[in-house]
């Protein structure tokens, strides 16, 4: 996951996806990054399990991997609780 969030543009892409599933074009427009760069960032985020994709006809829609993120937050909360 560290590589997934280790870039400001990938963080901005995740922020855009928090409002719901988006295509590459929609993400590029929201975060003001060229589509090829968005595609590369999405590849990294997908490899880190932070996003999932779903093909809908000719388009691919990307969204937050909610179960994975919930598990990460749970582990983080456990780690914080152990330090108290």
CATH number at residue 42: 1.10.10.10
| pTM of the model as a whole | 0.80
Element (H, E) at 56: strand 51-56
What domain range is 43 assigned to? 2-83
**Total domains present in the chain:** 1
Structure tokens at 34: 């060229």
Among candidates 41, 48, 42, 37, which has minimal Cα distance to 60? 42
> For residue range 63-77, what is the model confidence (pLDDT) as tens digits?
999 888 887 777 778
Q: Which tens digits make up the pLDDT trace of 15-66?
A: 999 999 999 999 999 999 999 999 999 999 999 999 999 998 999 999 999 8
CA angle at 51 for the pair 78 and 79, rounded to the nearest 5°: 10
């Amino acid at each position: 996951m560290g590589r997934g969030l280790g870039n400001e543009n990938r963080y901005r892409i995740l922020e855009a996806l928090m409002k719901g599933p988006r295509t590459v074009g929609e993400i590029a427009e929201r975060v003001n990054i060229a589509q090829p760069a968005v595609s590369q960032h999405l590849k990294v985020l997908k490899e880190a399990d932070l996003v999932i994709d779903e093909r809908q006809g000719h388009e691919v829609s990307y969204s937050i991997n909610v179960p994975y993120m919930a598990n990460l937050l749970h582990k983080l909360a456990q780690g914080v609780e152990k330090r108290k």
